[in-house]
A and B are shown apart, each in its own frame.
Chain A
Amino acid sequence: MKVSLDDLPDIATGATFLGTGGGGDPYIGRLLAMNAIKEFGAPELIEPDDLDDDALVFTIAMLGAPTVLGEKAACGDDIDLAVEKLAQRLGRQPDALVGIEIGGINSLLPVMAAARLGLPLVNADGMGRAFPEIQMVTFNVYGISCTPLSVTDDHLTSLVVDTKDAKSAEDLVRVAAMQLGLSVILSSYPMSGADLKRTAVKGTLTMALEIGRAITQGRNDGRPVEALIDYLRTTTYYNECKQLFDGKVTDIKRETTQGFNVGACQLVSLSDPCDVMEISFQNEHLVARLNGKTKCIVPDLICLVDRETAEPVPVDGLKYGQRLKVIATSAAPIMRTPESLAVFGPHAFGLDEAFVPLEQIE
Chain B
Amino acid sequence: MRIGVDVGGTNTDAVLMQENKVLASHKAPTTENVSDGIVSAINAVLSGSGVAAAQIQHVMIGTTHFTNAFVERKGLLSVGIIRIALPSSRGVLPLTDWPVDLSRTVGKHHFLIKGGYQYDGRIADELDEVAVANAAKEIRRKGLKTVAITGLFSPVNSAMEYRALEIVQNELPDASITLSSNIGRVGILERENAAVMNASLADLSRTVVQSFHDALRKLKIDAPFYVSQNDGTLMSSAYVEKYPVLTFASGPTNSMRGAAYLSGLKNALIADIGGTTTDIGVLVNGFPRESSITVDIGGVRTNFRMPDVLSLGLGGGSLVETRAGRTMVGPTSIGYRLLKEAMVFGGQTMCATDLAVAGGYSDIGDKNLVSKLPRELVSQGIKRIHEIVTEGVDRMKTSFEPVPLVLVGGGSVLIRDDIPGTSETIIPDNAGVANAIGASIAQVSGETDRVFAYDAMGREASLQTAKDEAKARAVDAGADPTTIEVLDIEEVPLAYMPGGAVRIRVKVAGELAATR
Chain A interfacial positions (CB closer than 8 Å to B): 22, 24, 28, 31-32, 34-36, 63-68, 70-77, 112, 132, 154-156, 174-175, 177-178, 181-182, 248, 250, 254-256, 258-261, 283, 316-317, 319-323
Contact = CB atoms under 8 A, between A and B. Distances in A.
Given A35-B91, A155-B124, A181-B118, A71 B399 contact: no
Contact of B493 (A71, A77, A177, A255): A255
A182 B90 contact: no
A182 B498 CA distance: 10
B229 to A, nearest CB: 23
Contact of A174 (B85, B96, B97, B498): B498
B305 to A, nearest CB: 17
Given A31-B96, A323-B395, A75 B124 contact: no
A260 B496 contact: yes
B91 A75 contact: yes
Contacts of B189: 28, 31, 70, 73
B398 A31 contact: no
B107 interface: no
Contact of A321 (B93, B187, B397): B397
Given A32-B91, A181-B119, A65 B494 contact: yes
Given A70-B187, A71-B153, A319-B292, A283 B398 contact: no
A348 to B, nearest CB: 16
Given A260-B496, A321-B397, A71 B91 contact: no
Contact of B497 (A22, A154, A174): A174
A28 B502 contact: no
A21 to B, nearest CB: 11
- Residue in A28, A155, A175, A248 whose Cβ sees the most chain B Cβ within 10 Å: A28
Contact of A182 (B187, B494, B502): B494
Nearest to B96: A31
Contacts of A32: 91-92
B494 A72 contact: no
6 contacts: A67-B494, A73-B188, A77-B90, A177-B497, A181-B119, A260-B495
B398 to A, nearest CB: 6
A63 to B, nearest CB: 8
- Residue in A67, A71, A255, A321 whose Cβ sees the most chain B Cβ within 10 Å: A71
A66 B496 contact: yes
Contacts of A28: 92, 189
Nearest to B494: A65
Interface in B381-405: 394-400
Contacts of A112: 91
- Residue in B124, B293, B397, B493 whose Cβ sees the most chain A Cβ within 10 Å: B493
B105 interface: no
A155 B90 CA distance: 12
Contacts of A65: 119, 494-497, 501
Nearest to A323: B395
B292 A71 contact: no
Interface residues of B, number: 42
Contacts of A64: 496-497
B91 A261 contact: no
A190 B471 CA distance: 53
B99 to A, nearest CB: 15
A178 B453 CA distance: 11
B406 interface: no
A77 to B, nearest CB: 7
Given A68-B119, A321-B395, A73 B496 contact: no
A271 to B, nearest CB: 14
A248 B393 CA distance: 13
Contact of B152 (A22, A71, A76): A71
Interface in B67-94: 85-93
A155 B500 contact: no
B96 to A, nearest CB: 5
Given A70-B186, A181-B119, A182-B497, A256 B398 contact: no
| B contact patch SS | loop
B128 interface: no
Contacts of B173: none
Contacts of B395: 321-323
Nearest to B500: A256
A175 B455 CA distance: 14
Contacts of B87: 75, 77, 154-156
A75 B89 CA distance: 5
A259 B91 contact: no
Nearest to B292: A319
Contacts of A156: 87
B394 A66 contact: no
B114 to A, nearest CB: 10
B222 interface: no
Contacts of A72: 85, 88-89, 152, 188
Nearest to A67: B494
Given A34-B96, A70-B189, A71-B119, 18 more contacts: A28-B92, A31-B91, A31-B189, A65-B501, A67-B503, A72-B89, A73-B88, A73-B92, A75-B89, A75-B91, A154-B87, A155-B125, A250-B400, A256-B493, A259-B495, A261-B495, A321-B397, A321-B398
A321 B394 contact: yes
Contacts of A24: 496
Nearest to A36: B91
A354 B497 CA distance: 28
B499 interface: yes
Interface in B171-195: 186-189
Given A73-B188, A320-B398, A178 B92 contact: no
A73 B186 CA distance: 12
B208 to A, nearest CB: 32
Interface in B310-324: none
B91 A76 contact: yes
Q: Which 10 A-B pairs have the closest CB atoms?
A: A256-B493, A259-B498, A261-B495, A72-B88, A75-B90, A65-B494, A181-B118, A73-B89, A32-B91, A73-B92
Contacts of B93: 35
Contacts of B96: 31, 34-35
Nearest to B122: A181
A124 to B, nearest CB: 23
Contacts of B493: 254-256, 261
B119 A317 contact: no
B498 A71 contact: no
Contacts of B125: 155
Given A32-B92, A73-B90, A320-B399, A178 B497 contact: yes
A77 B495 CA distance: 25
Contacts of A36: 91
B505 to A, nearest CB: 13
Contacts of A322: 395
B397 A31 contact: no
Contacts of A177: 497
A302 B91 CA distance: 32
Given A178-B498, A182-B494, A258-B498, A75 B399 contact: no
B91 A73 contact: yes
A13 to B, nearest CB: 15
A258 B494 CA distance: 11
Nearest to A250: B400
A285 to B, nearest CB: 14
Interface in B209-223: none
A129 B492 CA distance: 24
